[in-house]
Amino acid sequence: FTNVYIKNFGEEVDDESLKELFSQFGKTLSVKVMRDPNGKSKGFGFVSYEKHEDANKAVEEMNGKEISGKIIFVGRAQKKVERQAELKRKFEQLKQERISRYQGVNLYIKNLDDTIDDEKLRKEFSPFGSITSAKVMLEDGRSKGFGFVCFSSPEEATKAVTEMNGRIVGSKPLYVALAQRKEERKAHLTNPE
């Protein structure tokens, strides 16, 4: 790489002072501080070197350095493709975290009596803890006989499974278990948000 990305510097740093700072490592081809439409510095910029070694050295020497009271970040400027890949990775990671947060707190309940709606479902399960959502899956306004209850902690959810599985509500014994991804997926497919 020959392009270096610098961020977190103050507004007083312009192209000239950035060039001064970074040309000590080798010949620069271009130096640019990014600005908004009003010409105000956005606090980041790019330096392009002729040689890879010089760019590398600039990163090693300058990353984490303090420039007028601010610690700057200096790294290899990523190409757009790399940036997108990085963003995608972060997004996937967030998605996984969200999934694991929900695991263990979401209950899948089936064999529901037709008379049970969201409100009744919530009422039946509320003695076990704080419910963040209770939903009976519907088709054309009629119960599909299954639904989900989401608790705020895995302990509450587990307690509800132990107490409620097999309990007769209305005219039928409930089947209650911790929701698996498959069942949740199915629910989302049949119930587009």
Q: Which CATH number is 140's domain given?
A: 3.30.70.330
Same domain as 163, residue 131? yes
In a domain, 90, yes or no: no
Same domain as 109, residue 186? yes
Compute the C-alpha angle 16/17/22, nearest 5°.
100
Which SS3 state, helix, strand or coil, does residue 126 take?
Answer: helix
Distance CA 51, CA 126 (A): 66
Number of domains in the chain: 2
Same domain as 121, residue 61? no
111 residue type, one letter: N
In a domain, 94, yes or no: no
Cβ atoms within 10 Å, residue 106: 21
Tens digits of pLDDT across the chain (193 residues): 899 999 999 999 999 999 999 999 999 999 999 999 999 999 999 999 999 999 999 999 999 999 888 999 999 998 877 788 888 888 888 877 766 666 678 899 999 999 999 999 999 999 999 999 999 999 998 999 999 999 988 889 999 999 999 999 988 999 999 887 665 556 655 554 4
In a domain, 40, yes or no: yes
pLDDT tens digits along 77-115: 988 777 888 888 888 888 777 666 666 788 999 999 999
Cβ atoms within 10 Å, residue 21: 20
> In 3D, which of 55, 166, 157 has the Cα closest to residue 111?
166
Helix axes 154-164, 118-125, angle to 10 degrees: 100
Which SS3 state, helix, strand or coil, does residue 128 take?
Answer: helix
Structure-token pair, residue 144:
């599909």
Write down the pLDDT at residue 192. 45
Same domain as 66, residue 23? yes
> In 3D, which of 114, 100, 101, 183 has the Cα closest to residue 148?
183
Write down the pLDDT at residue 54. 96
